[in-house]
Amino acid sequence: MKTRFLAVIAGLIFLTACGQSIIDETPDPFFSQWMSFLSDETAIRNIVIPGSHDAGSVTMPSAAETQNSYIRTQLLYGVRYFDIRVQKKARGLVIFHGPVSGQPFADVLESVKTFLEAHPSETVILDFQHFKGGSEADTFAAVSQTLGPDRFIVTIPDDMTPLEAADTLTLGECRGKALIFWGKDYETPESDFLFPRNNDDGSHDNCALESYYVGELHRKSSEVFIRSALPQYYGRFEKKNKGLFVLQCQLTGKTLLSSIARREQEHDAGITAYIRGIADDEQRLNLTNIIMRDFLTDDIRKVKTILELNLHKANLIPESSRPTFAAAVSH
């Protein structure tokens, strides 16, 4: 009885704990259109892109909240990759993280649509990592209805596999549209725009996106995580070196009640230094594509650190655009 009582109390604390204050502001307009400074011929897999872990978790309790701004704000901050998790509930489709559900999924799609309408130079990557409550079919229908493959979604060419397409798609082919990645461990509707994404272990073949996650390493200290997890993730992708690659750089709470914001504060200096150091390692730089972090809009510095790596990749930014791009991402 005592154990059950304590479990209930712990659950209440988890569900009622406040998250971070919501950030809702407009940064320098450069960040809402930074892709306009890149060449059309640039392959998507060669661009270094800021990625949002559990992108829709704003307003959730502190043990579940990994971002403290809505996706509409993250887009204005320069984030272009979003980890999306959708749950089906009686009230409709909602975003979830673990046992907690949050904002309506419809709001996420409307934010993406509105942004792409206003910023046709950009592309957005929606990565549907996890589904819950049998939400796959309804999620697919919502994406199709709101974004539409003939309007705001990149389709897979008939003569290519999804992996071949993801490996060769250029920014010019994707401007003004979203790339949709779908968890291969879940029910996948018939479609010409769903790119299969691998699971945390990378155990499937012919997936268009790799995003490795070893939970026990993400629960370690920042120093141990950086030393142990990131070289492993780069090493695993290097063996494939095809399609898109998400480098998961966030820490996970050590316990159910851990504040993710506090973990990020402990991690920030070390992971920021690691990301900056990628520029000095040609092998890592060539493999780097999407860098996923928590609380990306806490400080525009986080986005700048990621975007700055594009200056070190050949042929991404025309010489005429480099001074403006460099000035905008300088610290």
Tell me what pLDDT residue 9 has.
40
What's the pLDDT tens digit per position in 64-97?
Answer: 999 999 999 999 999 999 999 999 999 999 999 9
Tell me what pLDDT residue 256 has.
73
Tell me what pLDDT residue 6 has.
40
According to DSSP, residue 20 is labeled: P
Q: How far is CA 6 from CA 9, 10, 11, 253, 257, in A?
A: 5, 6, 9, 20, 13
DSSP string, 277-328: HGGG-HHHHHH--EEEES-TTS-HHHHHHHHGGGGGSTTSS-TTTHHHHHHH
Instruction: Report residues of the chain scoring pLDDT below 50.
Output: 1-16
Nearest to 182 by CA among 235, 131, 114, 225: 131
pTM for this model (two decimals): 0.94
Tell me what pLDDT residue 170 has.
98
Q: What CA–CA distance (Å, rounded) separates 80 from 196?
A: 18
Q: What CA–CA distance (Å, rounded) separates 126 from 108?
A: 10
CA angle, residues 201, 82, 316, in degrees to nearest 5? 95
Task: Walk me through the domains of the chain, giving residue ranges and CATH numbers.
Answer: 32-326 (3.20.20.190)
SS3 state at 81: strand
Tell me what pLDDT residue 254 has.
79
Query: Judging by DSSP bridges, how do beta strands 81-89 and 100-104 pair with one another?
Result: unpaired
